[in-house]
Amino acid sequence: MGNLRRVPVGIVGASGYGGVQLIRLFMDHPDVEVVYVGGDSSAGKAFGDIYPHMAHTVNLKVEAVDVDAIASRCEVVFLSVPNGLACQLAPKLLEKGCKVLDLSADYRFRNLTTYTNWYGKERNDAETAATAVYGLPELYRDRIAESQLVGCPGCYPTASLLALSPLLKQGLIVPESAIIDAKSGTSGGGRDAKMNMLLAEADNSLAAYNVGRHRHTPEIEQICSELAGHEVTVQFTPHLVPMVRGILATVYANLRDPGLVRDDLITIYRAFYRNSPWVKICEAGVCPQTKWACGSNVCYIGIEVDPRTGRVIVMSVIDNLIKGQAGQAIQCMNIMMGWEETLGLPKLGFYP
């Protein structure tokens, strides 16, 4: 299909949800071949032992994490590892000429002090980190195209920033008034056995968590500040919802111009995302459902203006594991490789 050869890609951390999404998504990518999957606890296992339903289509063995081996075989490497590990692997892989896309938090921050404050880990790779680009293509497409190292956004920041960016960029809202009430399915917590994530505990229930102190807050604020042109503090509250996949960010902000109506904002959003094939602005009056986005790389955005309060309410939904994680990373890779950013990514899941 076009390219003479498939680009050899490696994935470190293949057994978690990030890894399995990457492998599944690459099955439909015409120009990529996964030639390496690596892991610690799962090294030596066939991938089909970890995910039995994939045994008939994925013939990969999880290998130990050996930077030399990876670099010798892979042109592009995805790091789907716990925070604090990517920053040990990335410098070496870059040095050996790989392009690196990190799905952890390690390369999301311009200011490593922020990282250290929120993630509690000292960093000694400042030089590498300075070259990293924040992997939200709708905002940083050009920089991503030229980068060797992309720090892919968190799932909450993706939904939140796609909702907020047009407002901040155009100066339409009072930045400090922004409140993000975000709701996520429990797959965001990963494939780790945690008591509070058991179906018996989390089903039929709903709660906020980490109020005022979730680690995605500084990531959101960093980009908001850049868009606003000054330091911005936002309110961010995550909630766990009894479903597997999907994030809805309901974003509130005070409009500077009380005369703006919903249709104005829909027009502005459509213009802002004109060249962003993965963002869809809903018709007036439509509230997006998280399920619409599940199984696809699409972000659906619904917009309301409440003339009684002078606020705009923006609703943004994504599949937290695709546009919020693995799909977005592949979208970034597409851009780094000079391909169409839609290449090989799912446009639509199955409904219902």
Taking the CA atoms of residue 184, residue 186, residue 190 and residue 191 in that order, the dihedral angle to the nearest 10 degrees is: -160
Residue placing its CB nearer to its own copies in the complex, 91 or 246: 246
Pick from 344, 329, 341, 345: nearest CA to 100 = 329
Counting Cβ atoms within 10 Å, is residue 189 exposed (0-12), middle (13-18) or buried (19+)? middle
Which H, E and C letters describe 125-151, residue by residue? CHHHHHHCEECCHHHHHHHHHCCCEEE
As measured in angstroms, the least distance from the Cβ of 219 to its own copies is: 15
Contact, 74 vs 100, CB < 8 A? no
What sign does the dihedral 71-73-76-82 (CA atoms) show? negative
Cβ-based nearer residue to its own copies, 40 or 176: 176
Active site residue 287: no
User: Would you say 253 or 332 has its CB closer to its own copies?
Assistant: 253
Polymer length in residues for the chain:
352
Supply the minimum distance, in Å, between the C-beta of residue 236 and its own copies.
Answer: 9
Nearer to its own copies, 88 or 254 (CB): 254
Considering beta carbons, is residue 74 or 315 the nearer one to its own copies?
315
Q: Of 87, 155, 294, 299, which residue is the catalytic one?
A: 155
Q: Are 128 and 91 in contact (CB under 8 A)?
A: yes
| 191 and 15 Cβ atoms separated by less than 8 Å | yes
- In the bound state with its own copies, the residue whose beta carbon lies nearer, of 70 and 227, is 227
Which residues have a Cβ under 8 Å from the Cβ of 148 and sit 6 or more positions away?
A: 94, 98, 99, 100, 131, 336
SS3 21: helix
Query: Rounded to the nearest whole angstrom, what is the least distance from the CB of residue 44 to its own copies in the complex?
Result: 17
In the complex, minimum distance from the CB of residue 171 to its own copies, in angstroms, rounded to a whole number: 20
Residue found under tokens 């924040």: 134
Task: List the catalytic residues.
Answer: 155
